[in-house]
Structure 1
Amino acid sequence: MAVANRTADAKTTRDAKRLQTRERLMGAAVAEFKRAGMADADVGAIVGAAGVAHGTFFFHFPTKEHVLLELERREEDRIAKRFAQFAKSDADLPSTLREAVDLVMGLERRLGVLLFKDFLALHFSPTRPPAEESDDHPLIVLVAAEIEKARARGDTASDVTPMNSAIYFLLGLYALLITTDDSPARTGLIDDYLARTLRSMR
């Protein structure tokens, strides 16, 4: 029994160390991606910052794209939780779509311009690595659910397709953000985009 307990303890310690190493690599990789963009990111700089051997990176992440895939999962979960919390307030559709915009723009600020563009490029890439978990995009699903609620209240046309509308809305938002960067006209463009999106559903 004592041997079994020692073996279990050793496995737990190894797993904890492996997780710590993965988190250090993740943090170092994200910092390097913010600095240089994913394509030009230096794996040597990443492992140096994380304090591990070169091969350790590829043990945890087969490619640099796999780092982005992990970041995507974490950030989508974070945004989805915040959006779901907001949705409990039963706000109207304009406020709900504005919240989605604010959350995505918050992501852009956290990641920085280079990494945000890489993040979205991978998000829609036909060659993205397969995800270990579901490849659904939770924010799209949640926005669609809010559009469905608005349709049930009579706030949109009865023939609106919530999932399609959510996809069109978020795709358009992503495109607008990555093409305007810090343009002075950006705020007005986003307001106009929201107004046109809402009109398209009436």
Structure 2
Amino acid sequence: MAVSDKPSARETKRLQTRERLMGAAVAEFKRSGIAAADVGAIVAAAGVAHGTFFFHFPTKEHVLLELERREEERIAKQLARFAADNHDLAQTFGEAIRLIVGLERRLGGILFKDFLALHFSQTRPQTDGESQHPVIVEVARAIERAQTLEGVDGDVDPFNSAVFFLLGLYALLTTTHNWPEQSAMLDDYLLRSLRGIGAK
């Protein structure tokens, strides 16, 4: 007798409720930011009882952690697919910038700042199986490949350089949101980041 991999009706309903809550919470966070977000408005939009929110997410920050996990995995997969097509480091860095700028635009300025604040918070809630950030890992892999194929300085630490590149990018995006000069500043940032690790 074969064991079915399909989730039970109860599990399917639980997952659907969680997704409704995620969607309603993200919409509320975009409007008012996480601190001012009203759980009552979230559960009303999701069509569930007040306690259902806390069954799925112990705090509002846990919604943001789930969003962070999903977005990091999505961006890392897209970046890995891009890099697999033999793009050079400049192109891969450019794609990383494009993907993260896309995230900022989708989330909006208020939620993007909250997203990054939690990302770097010393008091962020811990979750099971939390590991290295996959976007950092993909950028570090691209730098390692460039050391082999493009002559990037062998003394460069790929992981540290990936962290520095992404930290600088996040800081630039949060401080220049809606600035008309942002695009030119990002081009300059890309050029200087590549020069900083000895890339052509």
Q: How would you bin the TM-score normalised by the shorter chain?
A: over 0.9
Q: Does 1:13 align with 2:9?
A: yes
How far apart, in 2, do the equivalents of 1:92 and 1:199 lie?
14
Aligned length: 193
Q: How far apart are 1:43 and its partner, in Å?
A: 0.3
2:48 is matched with 52
How far apart, in 1, do the equivalents of 2:151 and 2:191 lie?
14
How far apart, in 2, do the equivalents of 1:153 and 1:63 lie?
46
| Aligned amino acid, residue 167 of structure 1 | V
1:138 is matched with 134
Q: Does 1:34 align with 2:34?
A: no
1:114 is matched with 110
Q: Does 1:128 align with 2:146?
A: no
What do the CA deviations read for 1:25-70 (whole angstroms, capped 9, x no partner)? 1110000001101111000000000111111101100000000000
Structure 1: segments with no counterpart, 5+ residues? 1-7
- Using the aligned pairs only, state the percent identity: 65
Q: TM-score, normalised by structure 2?
A: 0.93
2:176 is matched with 180
1:4 is matched with none
| Aligned amino acid, residue 42 of structure 2 | I
| Aligned amino acid, residue 114 of structure 2 | D
How far apart, in 2, do the equivalents of 1:130 and 1:194 lie?
33
Question: Which structure's CA Rg is the greater one?
Answer: 1
1:165 is matched with 161
How far apart, in 2, do the equivalents of 1:119 and 1:158 lie?
34
How far apart, in 2, do the equivalents of 1:109 and 1:186 lie?
13
Spell out the pairing of 1:57-68 with structure 2 (5 A cutoff). Answer: 57-68=53-64
Q: How far apart are 1:184 and its partner, in Å?
A: 1.2
Q: How far apart are 1:154 and its partner, in Å?
A: 4.1
How far apart, in 2, do the equivalents of 1:154 and 1:82 lie?
22
| Aligned amino acid, residue 110 of structure 1 | R
How far apart, in 1, do the equivalents of 2:154 and 2:23 lie?
46
1:200 is matched with 196
| Aligned amino acid, residue 167 of structure 2 | L
| Aligned amino acid, residue 87 of structure 1 | A
Structure 2: segments with no counterpart, 5+ residues? none
How far apart, in 1, do the equivalents of 2:151 and 2:166 lie?
20
2:144 is matched with 148
